[in-house]
Amino acid sequence: MTPPLVIGTHNKKKGAELAEMLAPFHLSVATLADFANAIEVVEDGDSFAANARLKAVQQAQNLGAWVLADDSGIQIDALDGAPGIFSARFAGADATDDDNNRLLLEKLDGLPPERRGAQYYCHVTLADPTGEVRAETSATCRGVIRTKPSGTNGFGYDPLFEVREYHRTFGELGPAVKRALSHRSRAMRAIVPRIVALLGESAQ
């Protein structure tokens, strides 16, 4: 039996999304919701990579388990890459997805489609039970920001983020297409073979 893999997030939708991507590999997957002693990691890194490492390393040391953590967000061309690592708290520490989306629309108000380019960015880190980083990867997904939300799928900025090739937002496209195209899916596809190999080795 391979040891359990803990997905290092308190975000239920993100946890479910990552668990679903790992399902075909028959790993034993848990989330922080399964651990009463899970800690809240302070994400005070200066990049997505730094924050992903903080979450993976500190949680792995705390739980004594393999932990997979990601840090992701949206980067808006017209805002010089903002909100970036502050995506989840763009409109404030206790901001909701709706609050963040509203603020983004305000900041881009009046800009034509050609100036509304954006990308989702994701960095994924795997730490072993001692807290050593064993694998990392990152990926992006390019798109454009709509002038109003559309669709109810996903979370975060998904109702505003239009995938150019489909002329639909992630909110409209649904989970199957998002699994194929998203920044998080691309990063996961790159790191999954390494996860499977490392957990397999640790089980021997």
The H or E element containing residue 194 is helix 183-203
Q: Which one is catalytic: 46, 70, 71, 77?
A: 71
Instruction: Answer whether 31's CB lies under 8 Å from 7's CB.
Output: yes
Concerning whether 71 is annotated as a catalytic residue, the answer is yes
Q: What is the sign of the dihedral through the CA atoms of 169, 172, 177 and 180?
A: positive
Nearby residues of 187 by Cβ (< 8 Å), 6 or more positions away: 70, 122, 123, 124, 137, 138, 139
Show binding-site residues: 9-14, 71-72, 155-158, 178, 183-184
Show binding-site residues for Mg(2+): 71
- Phi, psi (rounded to 5 degrees) for 200: -65, -40
What distance in Å separates the CA atoms of residue 201 and residue 192, rounded to the nearest whole number?
14
- DSSP line for 46-111: SSHHHHHHHHHHHHHHHHTSEEEEEEEEEEEGGGTT-BGGGGGGTT-TT--HHHHHHHHHHHTTT-
Show binding-site residues for substrate: 9-14, 72, 155-158, 178, 183-184
Query: Catalytic site residues?
Result: 71
